[in-house]
Amino acid sequence: MKLKVCVVLCAFSACGPGKGTEKFTTWGEEFIEQGIPDTAFVDGWSVHYDKFLVVFAGIKVADAKGNAGAMLTGSRLVDNTKPGRKDLVTFSDLDAQAWDRVSYQIRPAADGAELVSATEDDRTVMKNGGFSLYVAGAATKGFVTKTFHWGFVTATQYNDCTQAAESGTPIEGVVVTVGGTDTSELTTHGDHLYYDRLKASPDPAIETSLRFDEKAAADSNGDNEITLDELDAAPIDVTKYDPSGFDAPTLGAFMKSLARTVGHFRGEGECTISEAK
Dist. CA 197–CA 194, nearest whole Å: 9
130 within a domain of the structure (yes/no): yes
First-to-final CA distance of the chain: 58
Among 61, 40, 224, 77, smallest CA distance to 149 is for 224
Alpha helices in the chain (DSSP H): 2-12, 29-33, 120-129, 213-217, 228-232, 251-259
235 within a domain of the structure (yes/no): no
What is the model's pLDDT at position 7?
A: 35
- Give the tens place of pLDDT for each residue, 43-67: 999 999 999 999 999 999 999 999 9
227 within a domain of the structure (yes/no): no
Contact 245, 199 (CB under 8 A): yes
5 within a domain of the structure (yes/no): no
- Give the tens place of pLDDT for each residue, 76-127: 999 999 999 999 999 999 999 999 999 999 999 888 899 999 999 999 999 9
Contact 121, 196 (CB under 8 A): no
Dist. CA 156–CA 135, nearest whole Å: 16
153 within a domain of the structure (yes/no): yes
249 within a domain of the structure (yes/no): no
Among 135, 128, 14, smallest CA distance to 81 is for 135
- Put simply, whether the predicted model's pTM sits higher than 0.85 gets the answer yes
Torsion (CA) 133, 275, 215, 34 in degrees, nearest 10: 40
Beta bridge partners of 31: none
What is the model's pLDDT at position 5?
A: 35
What is the model's pLDDT at position 16?
A: 55
Residues in the chain with pLDDT values less than 50: 1-14
Structural domain total, the chain: 1
Among 82, 97, 81, 99, smallest CA distance to 24 is for 99
DSSP calls for 144-192: EEEEEEEEE---EEEEEEEE--TTSSPEESEE--TT-EEEEEEEB-GGG
169 within a domain of the structure (yes/no): yes
Q: Which residues, at least 6 apart from 24, have a Cβ–Cβ distance to it below 8 Å?
A: 59, 72, 87, 88, 89, 90, 91, 104, 183, 184, 185, 186
Residue 84 lies in domain: 18-188+266-275
Q: What would you report as the CA-atom Rg of the chain, rounded to the nearest whole angstrom?
A: 21
- Taking residue 50's Cβ as centre, other Cβ atoms within 10 Å add up to 13
Dist. CA 173–CA 158, nearest whole Å: 12
39 within a domain of the structure (yes/no): yes
What is the model's pLDDT at position 15?
A: 52
